[in-house]
Structure formats: structure tokens, C-alpha cells
Chains A and B, each alone.
Chain A
């Protein structure tokens, strides 16, 4: 074969693979993962005979609440509503929508956040694990130390390239466990349409990192925000003069508290008893413990905010995207305007590290830091010693 032809073929191969790599890493972010997940769930829901033109068809009983399996918002109107009927121009942030500035929130001492301003209306929104990930990441030193410790425990021989590929072909290579990512956030949008009174938002997360994005309607006023539970809770697009207080999951647990609610009639625990997978005695002890925790949470919440947590709760246990606080927009023109995350100010607890890059990039960068920490630490070091190295 002609040498020049061979050279040309080789150059074409190299150039082609470079081009493909560039295309993959850069421009096309691919399909929206939430839309992709929703389309799979919609097919499942349709198979159960639900009418998907009704927003309530996307509510699925899960644990002590409902999960959201489609493009609907939680409301206090007796039923969910399609998001497009609440927010004008709703567009879930993509990987390129990077928040711009971080405002630090001073830590709230103790277990008693300040009382809301008199005359303001309490709006309590709860989110378990929301649907969408965002290009915002935050962490504490102990999170990195924990991840480094986990990496040291599960350290495996680095492999890759040709060897990895050949092992895969031979069927001897398994999927490599990926490192923990204790910096990723999920997004929960809050649309405020309540103009009759100032609103005090009580935003409650379970254990996840939740970034609450506020969309304030015309004539509305937010008098204050209390962020309850969650890990390093953060809030975006909130006016700078609105006071924010944080009592995160760690602080709550130090006070002997955790968000808890009574099970609903369709809770899986009852089905487990009916099917014999759980004895009635074991179920009773579980339920008594839940009842006790729910009563304690309700009493503490009522003491701070004037009514029980369960009574005021808006939101879903899983897969939430948006919650509406206030009346439904009477016509499309009165919908709440959408505020994106690009360049938005994010309020977050003081002392946290932050990074505003797409999740994949953050994993690479943070993974390198965790790797360095794991290398710098001694094999016998515990999380506390590694956290000191991280400092």
C-alpha cells in the first residue's frame, strides 16, 4: 500500500477521534435527564390506566407523602397543577446555567430560629430528594474527609485504556465503583404568588443538598426564610435584604429533632404486614417510633411557626420540582415570571466551599482533591485527622 495513503488514513483516524471527543465533552449537553426520566415514568403510569391529561395522575404514594412523576407542581389547592400553568417561561437550568455570586449566611445558634415577622404568612414547603441536579456544588471539610476516607478503604489498582477495554471484552472487568460525590445539589423551585400578605418561607429538606430557587410574582414580598434540615441548604434569587436562617439536619439532630410525619393509609409498611413480610409486632414498634418522632417534630414546629408541620406542608417526598405558594394565576398573563440560575446570587452557610461548574466537571475537580487528600493521609488516619489535612 502507498505510504502516503496510510499516513492519510492514520491522520483521519486521529482527527476523527479528537473531533468526536470534543463534541462529546463540549457543546451538546444531551437530553434533559428529568424529561428522559419522566417519559419512562409516564409510560409506566399509562400502563396502570391513569389519564395523563390530569395533573393528579402524576402523584404516586410513597412513604409519608406523594412522589411526583411528571411535570407538575405541588400546591395548596387540593391538587397538583401543571408547571406551565404557574410559571411563565419555565426552563429547567442546564449544565451551562452557572450561579454567579455566593452570599454567606451566619449560623443560627441553638434549636430556635427567630419568630417570623408579625402579620406574615407561613408557607412550609418540604422536599425529599428533588428531581433535577444543578451546576452548583458545596461542601464542608468533613465531607471531603469522609469521601477521602471512603476512597482509602475501597482503594483499587488504577487501570484504564487498553487493559480495561480488553478486560471488558474478555468479560473479566466490572464497572468501576465511582467515588462518593458529597457536593452535588438538587434543585427545588418555589413560585410565590401570594400578594395579600408578606410570606415567611419555611423550606424543609431531608438529608439531601437542596438549592431552593425563588420566583417571586408581582406584588409579593418575602419577609424571611428559615431553611430547615438538609445538608448545607442553599437558596438562590432571594433579595439581599431578606433575612435567612439555617437549622440544618446536623443542627436539628443535635437538638434531638428530625423532620418526621405519620404514615399514610397507603404506606408500604401496612402492605408488608398484610403480605407477611413484616410481623405485626415489629410493625407496631416501628410505627410507634414514627408516631413519637412525628409528634415531637410537629410540636417543635408549632412552637416556632404557629401551626403543625404536617398541617402546613406543601411538597412531595421525592422527585419534586416546583411548589406554588399562594393563589393560582387566574390567567396566563398573570403567571409568576421565571428566574433562571445563570448569574444568580446563592445564599449559603458561611464556611462552605462552593463551585459553580457542570456536575461532571465538578466530579473531576473534586475527585482530584479527594484523591490528593487520600494520598496525603496516613492509612490509619480517621476522618477527623483527614479533615485537619483538608484545612
Chain B
């Protein structure tokens, strides 16, 4: 009698553990509840997956830990922009706008010598287009 009871309990425990295991971790190669939890967290933050290998190939600036560390008080988190190689440098550039420019005679001299002159911004017109035409 006792033996039958123990077998019964063992079978039921095995069934429950199997079902829980499949439900949580997924069938091999398939999605489980744990994946859902992770995906839900990513979607909620607006973040997206980052292809780490893309950065050196595309020659874009890496997302440095310093960017996050230097986040000024009261600034927004940057959201999804912080994790996309196309936007992370822009985010860093926006944050650098908050830092007042330093005065330096050396930097000014280099700027005067090397910086491209501000481009003349003329409104578009037909004459402008004609100037760009191949003779």
C-alpha cells in the first residue's frame, strides 16, 4: 500500500516538475516564460538589441560607460538612443552641449587656422541649382 502511494506521489511530482520546467525554460530551441520576462523588460524600457559586432565593422563610436556615468542630474535617460550605434554618439554630443566651452588661446589659434569657415546658407533658388549644373 505504502509502495503504491509513494509511486503515485513520485509520478505526480515528476509530472509537475516537467510541466513547470517546460513552461519556464521552454522546449529545447523554443521560447520559455523566462524569455518572455526578459523580452517584456526590454520592450518596457524602449531598448532594443545591440549587435556588439557591428561597431568595429561600421566604424562607429563605441558606447562608452563614461557616457552613462556623465549623465547630468535631471537629464533624461536617453532611452533607446543610448544603445543604438547610430544614436549613442548623438546622445553624447547633446550631453556635451550642457558643458560650457572652455577658454583657451591655443585652441582658439588652432580653430582659426584649421576650422572650416561657416558655410554660407543661402536659400534654394533656380540660380543656385544652375550653378551646380555640369557645363
Contact = CB atoms under 8 A, between A and B. Distances in A.
A131 B86 CA distance: 6
Contacts, number: 268
Contacts of B75: 44, 47
Contacts of B91: 40-41, 44
Given A48-B98, A196-B129, A273-B106, A62 B115 contact: no
Contacts of B132: 121-123, 306-307, 312
B82 A40 contact: yes
Residue with the highest number of chain B CB atoms closer than 10 Å, among A10, A11, A37, A261: A37
Nearest to B103: A274
Residue with the highest number of chain A CB atoms closer than 10 Å, among B36, B97, B128: B97
Contact of A21 (B20, B31, B50): B31
Interface bin, chain B: 35 or more
Contacts of A60: 90, 93-94, 97
A208 B12 CA distance: 57
B129 A21 contact: no
B114 A197 contact: no
A318 B110 contact: no
Interface string A47-86: 1100000000000111010011100000111110000000
A120 interface: yes
A129 B85 contact: yes
B28 interface: yes
Interface string A10-23: 11011011101100
B32 interface: yes
A200 B82 CA distance: 37
A150 B53 contact: yes
Interface in A117-150: 117-123, 129-131, 147, 150
Contacts of A118: 134-135
A362 to B, nearest CB: 11
A207 interface: yes
B69 interface: no
A21 B22 CA distance: 12
A159 interface: no
Interface bin, chain A: 35 or more
Contacts of B39: 24
Nearest to B133: A121
B86 A262 contact: no
A37 B134 contact: no
18 contacts: A7-B15, A14-B23, A17-B22, A33-B80, A37-B81, A40-B81, A41-B87, A47-B75, A61-B93, A75-B124, A121-B132, A121-B134, A129-B85, A180-B51, A184-B54, A197-B130, A273-B104, A274-B106
Interface of B: 12, 15-16, 18-23, 25-26, 28, 30-36, 39, 43, 46, 48-54, 56-60, 74-82, 84-87, 89-91, 93-98, 101-104, 106-107, 110-111, 113-116, 118, 121-124, 126, 128-130, 132-135
Interface of A: 1, 3, 6-7, 9-11, 13-14, 16-18, 20-21, 24-25, 30-31, 33, 36-41, 43-45, 47-48, 60-62, 64, 67-69, 75-79, 115-123, 129-131, 147, 150, 161-162, 165, 177-182, 184, 186, 194, 196-197, 200, 206-209, 261-265, 267-271, 273-275, 280, 283-284, 287-288, 290-291, 305-307, 310, 312, 318-319, 326-328, 360, 363
